[in-house]
Amino acid sequence: MEEMAKHGGLGLASARAGMDRKTARKYVKEGKFPSALEQERTWRTREDPFEEQWDSLAARLKEAPELEAKTLFEELCAREPGRYKPGQLRTLQRRVRQWRAQQGPEKPVFFAQEHRPGEAMQTDFTWANELEVTVGGQPFAHLLCHPVLPYSN
């Protein structure tokens, strides 16, 4: 679009953009960028090979969410030899990833801490009585203080 605005010629603009003239003509005619013309596909291109077994696979995932799709695929192949091809593993991996996103266990929430130099010091006190320190032969009940500067550790 920028090249068309600069030069006005479709041939030169498409050559500079690195695309075919017909493709450039389509984008100029629509008046939109290629990313704006893409539409998300909502249909399947082929039948799901794991549709029949998915209920049992989902039940296994509920019992043990840490199971990997490869392990489940190997179990399926052992149960029904010759039915699945190695290339179908990726399909099952996508299906398991989708299940984890929708129904899997919650992910732990993590808030990264940002430490700035000179701003804070953390202290930790520990009773040191079990060390049995004595002063002049008498037990010395005391605490140990351990300071840490978070920025430099």
User: pLDDT digits over 117-149, tens only?
Assistant: 989 999 999 999 889 999 999 999 999 999 999
For residue 144, is it within any domain?
yes
Q: Which of 56-60, 69-73, 128-132 has the lowest mean pLDDT?
A: 128-132
Domain count across the chain: 3
For residues 96 and 62, state if they share a domain.
yes
In this structure, the answer to whether residues 153 and 124 fall within a common structural domain is yes
Over residues 86-115, the pLDDT tens digits come to: 999 999 999 999 999 999 988 888 898 888
- With respect to residue 108, please indicate whether it lies within any of the assigned structural domains: no
128 is a domain residue:
yes
59 and 99, same domain (yes or no): yes
42: in domain? no
User: Do residues 119 and 91 both lie within one domain?
Assistant: no
- The mean pLDDT value of the chain amounts to 89
In a domain? residue 98: yes
Query: Where on the phi/psi map is residue 132: left (φ > 0), alpha (ψ -120 to 50), or beta?
Result: left
Provide the pLDDT confidence category of residue 9 given band limits of 50, 70 and 90: confident
> What is the DSSP code (8-state) at residue 131?
G
What is the maximal distance between C-alpha atoms in the chain? 99
Q: Are residues 99 and 61 located together in one domain of the fold?
A: yes
- Same domain? For 58 and 89 the reply is yes
DSSP 18: T
Residues 152, 120, single domain; the answer is yes
Verify that 89 and 118 share a domain, yes or no: no
- Full domain range(s) for residue 27: 2-37
- pLDDT the model gives residue 79: 92
CB neighbours of 56 closer than 8 A, spacing ≥ 6? none
HSE (CB half, 13 Å, CA atoms) of 110?
3
